Amino acid sequence: MKRCSIIIHSVSGNCFIIGSYLKELMEQRSVDARLYRVEDPDLHIWANKQETTNDFYEDILALPVASLSTLLKSDMVILGSPTRFGNITAEMKTFLDTTLPLSKERSLETKFFACFTSCSHSTCEGAHTLNALIYWSQNMGMLHIPYGVHEEIENLDQPVAGIVHLAGKEDSIRPSEQLGQEMEVYADILSAYIQE
């Protein structure tokens, strides 16, 4: 069975919710999907300040921490990060910075890649984060699988590159049924590349 590693940074819990659901959807499509997190030494501080973080704090910490080995063992990598000022978080960037040796060796070349984000303000802002993640994958020689255009879905506010969740000013708007429908479509697309 082909392996899909979903690697997230989650502060408010929204990327955790999306990553968990995507894992479930991929497993339903006969993919060995595994959910990981990147290190965040300040998550406990956020949990004391922000109720949305506290809701999923233990669940997030229970996830295994992603490593270079995680990437090497994967046939597909899906990254999920909150959007901060139109970009990935410092914690996700720190993780990606550790992959420089893999870039030089072209170790991830031709592995499949996809991405998602949760942001406060606009789909456009989230699209910038997706572009940052895609730029990393291109430097690694990976093959990005876009979400694409889907006229059969009522709400057409997703960028072509991946999935964007709008969480509102306090990051308190949780992923909805509409986003679930969009994720099901994306899971169909993604799993088709690595189903045996």
CATH class of the domain defined by 3-194: alpha beta
**Residues 12-25: tens digit of each pLDDT:** 899 999 999 999 99
- Assess contact for 141 and 134: CB atoms under 8 A: no
Neighbours of 144 (CB within 10 A): 16
**Residues 22-74: tens digit of each pLDDT:** 999 999 999 999 999 999 998 887 777 777 777 888 999 999 999 999 999 99
Work out the mean pLDDT of the chain and round it to a whole number: 92
Which sequence spans correspond to the domains of the chain? 3-194
| Contacts of 97 by beta carbon, 8 Å cutoff, 6+ apart | none
CA dist., res. 158 & res. 98, Å (int): 30
CA dist., res. 145 & res. 186, Å (int): 9
Beta bridge partners of 11: none
